Amino acid sequence: MINKDHIVTHWNRAIEKLTGCKAEEMVGTDKQWCPFRPEKRPIMADVIVDEMEEQEIEKYYGHSWRKSSLIEGAYEAEEFFPQIDERGKWLFFTAAPIRDANGETVGSIETLWDTTERREAREALQRAHDELEEKTAELEQANVQLRRFDELKSTFLANMSHELRTPLNSIIGYTDLLLDRVDGDITDEQEKSLTKVHKNAKHLLTLINDVLDISRIESGRMELDLKPVNVKDLIGETISALDPLIDRKGLVLETAFDEELPLAHADADRVRQVVTNLVDNAIKFTSEGRITVRAKAAERGLHKDKGPEFVEVCISDTGRGIRKRDLNRLFDKFRTLDTLATSQYKGAGLGLSICKGLVEIQGGTIWVRSTYGQGSTFCFTLPAWAEAAKLDYKEAGIGEEPRPSKVAAQSRVLVVDDEPDQVTLISKILGEEGYHIVKAYDGQEAIESVKRSQPDLIILDLMMPNVDGFEVIEYLKGGEETKEIPIIVLTGRELTKKQTQNLHGKVERIMKKGILSMEEILEVVKSTLGTFQ
Amino acid sequence: MNDRGIREGSVKTVLVVEDDQDNREMVIKVLKHNGYRAIEAVDGEEAVERAKAENPDLILLDLYIPKMDGYEVTRTLKGDQGLQHIPIIALTAQAMKGNREEALAAGCDGYIPKPINVRELPKQIEHFLKPNP
pLDDT tens, position by position, A260-301: 888 888 888 899 999 999 998 899 888 888 999 999 888 654
Tell me whether residues A173 and B115 touch, CB distance under 8 A: yes
Q: What's residue A410's pLDDT?
A: 65
Q: What's residue B17's pLDDT?
A: 95
B133, part of any domain: no
* Chain B residues with beta carbon closer than 8 angstroms to that of A202: none
Distance from CA of B11 to the nearest CA of A (A): 20
Distance from CA of A484 to the nearest CA of B (A): 35
Domain A140-218 class, CATH top level? mainly alpha
Among B64, B117, B118, whose Cβ lies nearest the Cβ of A162?
B64
What fold is seen in the domain A2-114?
Beta-Lactamase (3.30.450)
What is the largest distance, in Å, between two alpha-carbon atoms of chain A? 134
In whole angstroms, give the CA distance from residue A47 to residue A67.
Answer: 12
Q: What's residue A395's pLDDT?
A: 38
| CATH 3.40.50.2300, applies to A403-532 | yes
Average pLDDT (A158-179) is 81
Of the ranges A155-169, A335-349, B103-117, the best mean pLDDT one? B103-117
Average pLDDT (A403-418) is 67
Q: Answer with the residue of higher pLDDT: A202 or B5.
A: A202
Q: What's residue A151's pLDDT?
A: 73
Q: Answer with the residue of higher pLDDT: B87 or A398.
A: B87
Q: What's residue A166's pLDDT?
A: 76
Q: What's residue A514's pLDDT?
A: 62
Looking at every residue in chain A, the average pLDDT score rounds to: 82
Q: Is pLDDT above 80 for A512? A: no
Among residues B79, B101, B83, B105, the alpha carbon closest in space to that of B92 is found at B101
Average pLDDT (A15-29) is 88
- Judged by average pLDDT, the poorest of A324-328, A494-498, B128-132 is B128-132
- Cα angle, residue A493 at apex, residues A487 and A497 outer, rounded to 5°: 80
CA count, 13 A, side-chain hemisphere, A220: 14
Distance from CA of A174 to the nearest CA of B (A): 7
ipTM above 0.85, yes or no: no
Q: What's residue A491's pLDDT?
A: 79
Give the SS3 label for residue A387.
Answer: helix
* Chain A residues with beta carbon closer than 8 angstroms to that of B98: 223
Q: Considering the entire predicted model, what is its pTM?
A: 0.48
Give the SS3 label for residue B82.
Answer: coil
User: Is B98 touching A (CB cutoff 8 A)?
Assistant: yes
Q: Is pLDDT above 60 for B16? A: yes
B29, part of any domain: yes
pLDDT band at A508 (very low <50, low <70, confident <90, very high): confident
Tell me whether residues B98 and A223 touch, CB distance under 8 A: yes
Tell me whether residues A170 and B26 touch, CB distance under 8 A: yes
Distance from CA of B57 to the nearest CA of A (A): 24
Q: Are A335 and A341 in contact (CB under 8 A)?
A: no
- Map out the domains of chain A as residue ranges: 2-114, 140-218, 227-385, 403-532
Q: What is the pLDDT of residues A369-392, one digit of tens each?
A: 888 888 899 999 998 876 444 433
pLDDT band at A398 (very low <50, low <70, confident <90, very high): very low
Q: Are A264 and A385 in contact (CB under 8 A)?
A: yes
Q: Is pLDDT above 90 for A249? A: no
Tell me whether residues B33 and A182 touch, CB distance under 8 A: yes
Q: Answer with the residue of higher pLDDT: A54 or A453.
A: A54
Please report, rounded to a whole number, the percentage of residues in chain A having pLDDT higher than 70.
86
Looking at every residue in chain B, the average pLDDT score rounds to: 83
Among A161, A173, A177, whose Cβ lies nearest the Cβ of B95?
A161
In whole angstroms, give the CA distance from residue A207 to residue A351.
Answer: 9
- Chain A, nearest residue to B98 by Cα: A223
Which residues of A lie inside 8 Å of B (Cβ-Cβ)? 158, 161-162, 165-170, 172-174, 176-177, 180, 182, 205, 209, 212-213, 216, 223, 225
How many of the other CB atoms lie within 10 Å of CB of A485? 17
User: Is B11 touching A (CB cutoff 8 A)?
Assistant: no
Among B23, B95, B96, whose Cβ lies nearest the Cβ of A169?
B23
Alpha helices in A180-230 (DSSP H): 188-218
Q: What's residue B56's pLDDT?
A: 94
Average pLDDT (B99-127) is 82
Return the CATH superfamily for domain A227-385: Histidine kinase-like ATPase, C-terminal domain (3.30.565.10)
Q: What is the pLDDT of residues B22-70, one digit of tens each?
A: 889 989 999 999 999 999 999 999 999 999 999 999 999 988 888 888 8
Q: Are A162 and B96 in contact (CB under 8 A)?
A: no
Orientation angle between helical segments A518-532 and A387-395, nearest 10 degrees: 30
Q: What's residue B133's pLDDT?
A: 42
Residues in chain B: 133
Number of helices and strands (H, E) in chain B?
5, 5
User: Is B64 touching A (CB cutoff 8 A)?
Assistant: yes
Among residues A405, A372, A377, the alpha carbon closest in space to that of A278 is found at A377
* Chain A residues with beta carbon closer than 8 angstroms to that of B113: none
Tell me whether residues B96 and A158 touch, CB distance under 8 A: yes
Distance from CA of A259 to the nearest CA of B (A): 33
Who's near A340: CB < 8 A, 6+ residues apart?
A285
Domains: count for chain B? 1
Q: Is pLDDT above 80 for A517? A: no
Q: Is pLDDT above 90 for A108? A: yes
Q: Answer with the residue of higher pLDDT: A354 or A419.
A: A354
Tell me whether residues B114 and A169 touch, CB distance under 8 A: yes
Among A166, A176, A213, whose Cβ lies nearest the Cβ of B118?
A176
Who's near A131: CB < 8 A, 6+ residues apart?
none
* Chain B residues with beta carbon closer than 8 angstroms to that of A216: 95
- Chain B, nearest residue to A224 by Cα: B97
Any idea what the CATH number is for the domain that residue B22 is in? 3.40.50.2300
In whole angstroms, give the CA distance from residue B22 to residue B93.
Answer: 17
For residue A142, count CB atoms less than 10 angstroms from its CB and return exposed for 0-12, middle for 13-18, buried for 19 or more: exposed
3-state secondary structure B15-63: EEECCCHHHHHHHHHHHHHCCCEEEEECCHHHHHHHHHHHCCCEEEEEC
pLDDT band at A306 (very low <50, low <70, confident <90, very high): low
pLDDT band at A506 (very low <50, low <70, confident <90, very high): confident
Among residues A192, A201, A210, A199, the alpha carbon closest in space to that of A170 is found at A201
* Chain B residues with beta carbon closer than 8 angstroms to that of A180: 118-119
Tell me whether residues B29 and A172 touch, CB distance under 8 A: no
Q: What's residue A482's pLDDT?
A: 87
pLDDT band at A532 (very low <50, low <70, confident <90, very high): low
* Chain B residues with beta carbon closer than 8 angstroms to that of A162: 64, 93
- Chain B, nearest residue to A210 by Cα: B95
CB–CB contacts below 8 A, A to B: 55
State yes or no: cis peptide before B115, omega within 30 of 0.
Answer: yes
